[in-house]
Amino acid sequence: MSATIVVVGSFNLDMITTMERLPQPGETVQGRRFSTGPGGKGSNQAVAAARLGAEVSFVGRIGHDPWGDVALACWQEEGINTDHVGRDAELATGVAPIWVDDEGENAIVCALGANLALTREHVDAAADRIAAADILVLQLEVPLDTVAHALKLAQKLDVPCILNPAPAQSLTPEMLALASWLTPNETELATLYGETPEDLGPLVTHEGQTLIQTMGAAGARWATQSGTGQVPAFEVDVLDTTGAGDAFNGGLAVALAEGRELEDALRLANAVAALSVTRPGTAPAMPGRAEVEALLASG
């Protein structure tokens, strides 16, 4: 039986320009290639999970514009349920201009548009689908009030949650405590807690919570109230790191929903992220199940 995942989150149309190096403030550099494609943290995580074979539903907002049509076409192609995706009459679909340099590093600016119109009521309308899910996945490209409400609803429904606190912003201790799994990167961890400590254990709020710090080429480290550990990354040739965190979170959601033990789940998530950075783009770069299993089998 496949994993059942609900993602409450964002869609942005990625507008990607590749270049030799990222510009300094006030500087103009020559771009090499421009492309567009489906993106947004929530949508990317939904696509990553769907390509691994999960049954995925998306809860979000897009505009009545061509970029919204791109979103719907993407989700239809990936087999993602869109019963709880609304189209806003006034706000445009979110967009994300992205710069990527020759080292695979990136800089991103998001204009979130209709994503910011996702409300508590939209989440409540999807309560039955959330109740039937193995895991609810959340990020921070929609209003914090909506994210907090979704976390509380999931707790009420006894559905575990992955909270990917990205992009980095401060959250209340009460909100952090509602997450079953917290998955910040180094910047997000420092924003949440004021530091990047050597020991993650003291940051874990309760026995049922796991804190996972993603560390790029160094893999991921984890902590619960009873232990800590680290799972190494897979060595690959990096082309574009954009969306790697989303790939990780989508993979993690599926692995946990399938009942894998934590370090095994993190290994699968690392494999999904590793494969995603070997190709350009975000959602289009998400790997399928067969290639993930092949990488896992390789060592």
Q: Which residues are catalytic?
A: 246
For strands 210-214 and 220-224, give the pairing.
antiparallel
What residues contact 289, with CB distance under 8 A and at least 6 apart?
51, 52, 53
* Packing angle, helices 66-78 and 41-51, rounded to 10: 20
Q: What angle do CA 132, 134, 139 make, to 5 degrees?
A: 105
CA dihedral defined by 22, 23, 28, 33, rounded to 10 degrees? Answer: 10
Q: Give the Cα separation of 82 and 79 in Å (integer).
A: 9
**Cα separation of 282 and 299, whole Å?**
25
| 8-state DSSP, 150 | H
Q: How many CB atoms lie within 10 A of CB 103?
A: 13
Whether 272 contacts 288, CB under 8 Å? no
- With 0-12 CB in 10 A as exposed, 13-18 as middle and 19+ as buried, what is 17? middle
Residue 112: phi, psi to the nearest 5? -75, -20
Q: What are the angstrom distances between the C-alpha of 270 and each of 74, 107, 125, 216, 217? A: 24, 22, 33, 9, 9
